[in-house]
Homo-oligomer: A and B are copies of this chain.
């Protein structure tokens, strides 16, 4: 009615069935979904699987380089891929605010479908709830992904060892700055695009090159590279020593960070990964990364060190150093 979502679209009646059939099932387009059961069914082989979930609440819903739909596909594929796994299937749970434009919903669902298709991962089951006006923020999407871990691979947060090398797949800060600049209506000379991307192809190349010498991988999302490395430091009981000059940051992101008073180390990324690799295979894995379109700017940014304090330390361009703690408060606006 009037091209907007209303409560009947979540009430379990004909309007919901129609929205699901005409919009979601049509866009996601696969047999498991069209079967119309309460669940998707598929065959699996014996082996190791992974499961991961994320809620997406980004505001604004549309931003340079993507929207909440593509993000919800990429982000969850990436958390599957960080185990070295091949993503199999996604589920998608939508919570929609009454009055949300059906045309915006269609655009979001379209870009989810495109992102899933491009990644070769099907969205096989879903759910649609509608809440009253003012009880949500347009639309929230929670996606869950499952995937298959190649035999012999076992990446884990506690696997970093002193001497291991730290590889970063590209520039940092792009996603967070793209979202913030859109939200704050900032314009820069060159538009900054979100780096939102599905990393499982890059990961497959890294697994082929590094195999069991890959200790762990992480996508530095909320809290940025700083939070990610502090988490790994805590889990593995080690420290990190990073070379500031080795960490790629786009000049326009650098400028925007200066302007906004932010440190790119804390800004979210949605298409980057950081890998800890045994020293003797670091060069091979780095070369594999640089050979993939999503790893062209990959760099060796530092190494794991023994440190009872589990500090992440940064050697600055001037030869000085500082400790990169994780944020304690909400120093960054919400962007994920």
Q: Which residues of A pack against B, CB within 8 Å?
A: 6-8, 10-17, 35-57, 59, 79-80, 82-83, 85, 89, 91-95, 124-132, 134-137, 140, 142, 144-147, 149, 154-158, 216, 218-219, 221-224, 227, 231, 235, 268, 326-332, 334, 336
Contacts and interface: CB of A to CB of B under 8 A. Distances in A.
Contact of A334 (B44, B128, B131): B131
Contact of A327 (B13, B54, B154): B13
Contact of A53 (B43, B59, B91, B224): B91
Given A11-B334, A53-B126, A131-B334, 6 more contacts: A6-B330, A10-B222, A44-B48, A57-B95, A91-B144, A136-B140
B47 A44 contact: yes
26 contacts: A6-B330, A8-B328, A10-B334, A11-B332, A14-B328, A16-B223, A35-B156, A35-B157, A36-B158, A37-B82, A37-B155, A37-B156, A38-B83, A41-B50, A43-B46, A43-B48, A44-B48, A51-B91, A55-B94, A57-B95, A95-B142, A131-B137, A131-B334, A132-B137, A134-B134, A135-B137
A93 B91 contact: no
A133 B265 CA distance: 28
Given A12-B222, A218-B38, A235-B36, A140 B53 contact: no
Give this chain's copy count: 2
A12 B137 contact: no
Contacts of A41: 48-50, 83, 149, 154
Contact of A52 (B125, B131, B149, B326): B125
Contacts of A35: 156-158
A189 to B, nearest CB: 29
